[in-house]
Structure 1
Amino acid sequence: MRAALPVCIEVSQDYWPKAKYAIRMLLEPLGLGPIFKLRSELGSHGLYYGQNPAGLPSTIIVLQLARNAEGFYDDFTAIDMTSVRWRKHADYHFPVLFSSENADDLVASAFYWLSGWQEFTVQARDQHGRFPHNASLQAILEVTRLPVVDFYRTLLRARLEGAGIKTDLRKWAGRDWAFCPTIDVDYLRHWRIGMILREKVEYFLLNRRKVGVRERWRRLFKFTHSYFSRGDAFKIALRNMYQAIRAYGNATIFLKAAAHGPNDVSYQLDQPFLRELLVDLTSDGFEIGLHPSYHAHTHIAYVCGERRALTEVTGTDPLSVRQHFLRYEPTITPHIQEAVGFRIDSSLGFAECAGFRNGTCMPFLRFDPAGNRVMDIWEMPLLFMDGALFNRQKYGPAEAIQESIELLKLCQMFGGVAVGLWHNVIGEELDYPGWGEHFEKTLRWGGSNGAYIASLQDVLSAWTGYPLGN
């Protein structure tokens, strides 16, 4: 139950929805629900956001509007780096993007990160059409590993409690923080024809890896052993991951329902292995989400058809979605997701590295800058992905585990949620050495440190206090 907090916003008409959204997202994790009022209705306690607090009771908390904030959001322009101010909390330094002469504008600063404003202003995209980390403000300011919005909230909380307004951090099914293991099932068959040719021709005969003769024979032997072993490595991995997670709670499994290009590998949703596994997953409360095909992030017809196909197999409309390759075009993708009927997305993490793409470890509603409105879809921010840790950041198992746990500690510190992404490849040490160890030890750390471990849907429902189910 949220405690009501009167809030008066005095800003321009166009900026008002943005300020309202940012204030709501800042207050909700504190157990406070803003009730927006006119100045004359504010009373003796509450929040004021604007530039003219004169005449308000001294008990009102004033959040100063920076002079350049409204004008900045009139157009999609880049942040003026000279306006960034650095603040310190505990041992952390974090940036505030908008400030007035006497105070920081936490509202305008929070809106920038939560709305993904930079992704509308930066035109750079990588080879898969994704917003690149190296073009982000996080990379420029070197704060990728900091949930800066959550630091803003900490400052706001101190002011609220200093004014006698009680805050109560929302719980996760009675726990102080949450951890959502998720699995993207890109493949259900390991040794496909292309992979076999890679091993025999590219790696062994042509030596594309440029290794010595002994290493070529060693790999060929391991490939042969794996190929003739009973059962498919990726199917075995998926079942083993399910068994490991169920010891702590449940999770979200993202399944593909179609292939529309070379970056998609098709598999049948009605195959006996999946049908049997789905029975077990459902009985243990696991959530099944959709992992749309490679081009679906800009094609609503693909998403509609794929969601329908998954529903036919599971009997339930999936509420959670994660885009394949984390492809996410902010002017298109969230509108498709909302229109089709998804309630939760968990695509917004960086493809190249772990960290906080929207500056927070809290769930937040998406905002549509073009329509100047709050969207009806929650973002469960993606914290880390196995492929980014091992393939892009080039970590070994020990480094990947350490990086993941350090980020989990930040989520724990703020009472937030950590979303981890793994693929069903654990145990396949030929191509994915150490990935299984990372999965097992990271999951164990979360379970040993008080996290509520559950699916995206269960975790978000526990936090909001109302069910998101069909």
Structure 2
Amino acid sequence: MELLPEKQAIIHADLISAVFYLLSGWQEFYSDERDQHGRFPYAASVQHQYGFVAVPVVNYYFDVLKTAIEHVSGQPLRPRRWADGRAWAAFITHDIDNLYSAWKAPAKAALQRRDWLDFARRYWQHLTQKDAWDNLTEVQQTVAEYGAKSTFFFLPEHRKAANGTPNADYQYHRISKSVAALVTAGAEVGLHGSIGTSAHEAQLQRAIGQIPRLAHNAQGLRFHYLNWEPRITPLLVDELTFAYDSTLGFAEHFGFRNSYCLPFQPFIFQRGEVADFLEIPLNVMDATLHHPRYLQLAPEEILPALTPMLQEIERFGGVCTVLWHNENFDPANTRNGPREFRAIMEYLRSHNVAFVNGSDICRSFHHLSSGACKGPSQPETKSF
């Protein structure tokens, strides 16, 4: 970029096209690459090819435009501020897949060792004691210790998908009182769309109806296994008038799937326009950090690995979206468990982050009355 006299600037690159390519998900829409779960794989992305998954490139492009505009106009552009005037924000979320299965892996291991006494002990504990993953209140209280709010995404489907992929190990109607208690305590509740709902309107509509709190006001959404079919899902989510989605992150690596660290309205290629709902990108998931097919970071490696990405989000006043499953609040997990979660929360709090939930983010983007982040009872309007 050249800043010239007489308030002129020349940018020697087509930044607008580059921004559109990354932010719209062009690479996903026009690619047939999919993994075993039907997802666009990180290995096929430009972020992987050129090694910038943890760098919000679109924000850097916008920063170039900001510098040019300030030079030409002679006026500084003020950065966005979050709650209490803080520079950046964190969105703490939990996908609730399992509540009653903590006993299964150690019991299976006991069987494989032919340790009948240990197996009998674990099975008896399962029958007589609360499961270690039945911990929704403990999760909320842990998050609240840091002055933060929890957003819980619940799966209404407990049956396995047609391809054998598991959904919930619980039936939502049996835990509805526990969910109500979370809401009373200040938590936010959203839909965790089961396998298949990201591509089938009838299935997604039925899932909404199974969670009464969403039936008349479909607010937040994240799809199970981060399923997202770019040729179908954005249109589907928009037509069912969700306020926001928070699915778009790579399962295989932390960072920025659309190379942007702020919420945005996804582009719907079929219409040639942006959606009404807000996408709140997912930046870091517990399973990504230690999983046989993913990063396999040692506990002491997690925060140092994440820190450069967190610094980028802070630099641009973005939102750090964290997904930590309730099962990984189990003290028995010493790899990507409660200790590692607390280290991340300590970092966020010590860097003066604003802890927000999805509704807070919607309000901060001023879309509640102009399109995005509306509920289904509000009038249909567009926001560009």
1:307–1:317 Cα contact (<8 Å) kept: no
Partner of 1:326: 226
Alignment-derived partner of residue 268 in structure 1: 171
Show CA shifts across 1:260-293 (max 9, x none).
523213422232x5413422x3234321110011
**The one of 143, 146, 155 aligned to 1:256:** 155
Shift of 1:222: 9.1
Cα deviation 1:151-190 (Å, max 9, x = unaligned):
1111111112222133111111222100001000011212
Structure 2 stretches of 5 or more lacking a match? 376-384
- Residue 81 of structure 2 is aligned to residue 171 of structure 1: yes
Task: State the Cα distance separating 1:230 from its structure 2 match.
Answer: 3.2
Deviation at residue 460 of structure 1 after TM alignment: 3.0
Task: Give, in whole Å, the separation in 2 of the partners of 1:428 and 1:221.
Answer: 21
Cα 1:387–1:343 shift into 2, 3 Å: same
Q: What is the DSSP-based 3-state SS (H/G/I as helix, E as strand, rest coil) of the residue aligned with 1:171?
A: coil
Assess, with a 3 A threshold, how the Cα gap between structure 1 residues 308 and 62 changes in structure 2: closer, same or farther: farther
**Residues 426-441 of structure 1: matches in 2 within 5 Å?**
426-430=328-332, 433-441=335-343
Equivalent position SS for 2:13: coil
Partner of 1:299: 200
Q: Give me the whole-angstrom Cα distance separating, in 1, the residues matched to 2:350 and 2:123.
A: 39
Query: Using CA pairs below 8 Å that are at least 6 residues apart, which structure has the higher relative contact order?
Result: 2
Tell me the alpha carbon deviations over residues 422-441 of structure 1, each in whole angstroms, 9 at most, x when there is no partner.
10013435466441112111
Shift of 1:378: 1.1
3-state SS of paired residue (1:233)? coil
The residue type paired with residue 14 of structure 2 is D
Q: For residue 119 of structure 1, what is the amino acid of its counterpart?
A: E
The one-letter amino acid paired with 2:132 is: A
Alignment of 1:57-72 (within 5 A): 59=7
Query: Which residue identity is paired with 1:394?
Result: Q
Deviation per residue, 1:60-106 (Å, 9 max, x gap) = 6666xxxxxxxxxxxxxxxxxxxxxxxxxxxxxxxxxxxxxxx1111
Conserved? CA contact 2:139–2:329, under 8 Å: no
Equivalent in the alignment of 2:317:
415
Q: Which residue of 2 aligns with 1:234?
A: 133
- SS of the aligned residue for 2:328 comes to coil
Residues 387-428 of structure 1: CA distance to partner in whole angstroms, max 9, x if unpaired? 011111001212122223332221111111110111001343
CA contact (8 A) 1:288 1:318 kept: no
Residue 137 (1) aligns with residue 46 (2): yes
**Matches of 1:218 and 1:456, distance apart in 2:** 47
When normalised by structure 2's length, the TM-score is: 0.85
- Please state how far the C-alpha of 1:354 moved relative to its aligned partner: 0.5
Deviation at 1:119, TM superposition (A): 0.4
Tell me the SS of whatever aligns to 1:291.
Answer: strand
Which structure would you say has the larger Rg? 1
Runs of 5+ in structure 1 lacking a partner? 1-56, 64-102, 206-215
Q: Secondary structure at the match of 2:322?
A: strand
**Aligned: 1:447 with 2:349:** yes
Q: Alignment partner for residue 277 of structure 2, among 354, 377, 380? A: 377
1:245 maps to which residue? 143
In structure 2, how many angstroms separate the alpha carbons of the residues matched to 1:122 and 1:374? 20
Partners of 1:313 and 1:181 in 2: CA distance: 20
Q: Name the SS of the counterpart of 2:302 in structure 1.
A: helix
2:363 aligns with 461
Residue type of the alignment partner of 2:233: T
Q: How does 1:386-425 map to 2 (within 5 A)?
A: 386-391=286-291, 392-425=294-327
> Closer, same or farther in 2 for the Cα pair 1:284/1:170, shift >3 Å?
farther
Cα distance between partner residues in 1 of 2:121 and 2:57:
46
Once the two structures are superposed, residues 294-332 of structure 1 have per-residue CA deviations (whole angstroms, 9 ceiling, x without a partner) of: 11111111110111111x256752311101000100001
Alpha-carbon distance in 2 for matches of 1:306, 1:225: 34
Distance in 2 separating the partners of 1:129 and 1:354: 19
The TM-score normalised by the length of structure 1 is 0.70
Q: Secondary structure at the match of 1:409?
A: helix
Distance, in Å, in 2 between the alignment partners of 1:465 and 1:172 is 15
* Structure 2 SS opposite 1:426: helix
Partner of 2:13: 104
Identity %: 29
State the aligned residue count.
Answer: 359
Partner of 2:379: none
**More strand per residue: 1 or 2?**
1
8 Å contact kept, 2:254–2:284 = yes
CA distance 1:412–1:220, change in 2 (3 Å): farther
What one-letter code is carried by the residue in structure 1 that aligns with 2:256?
Answer: F
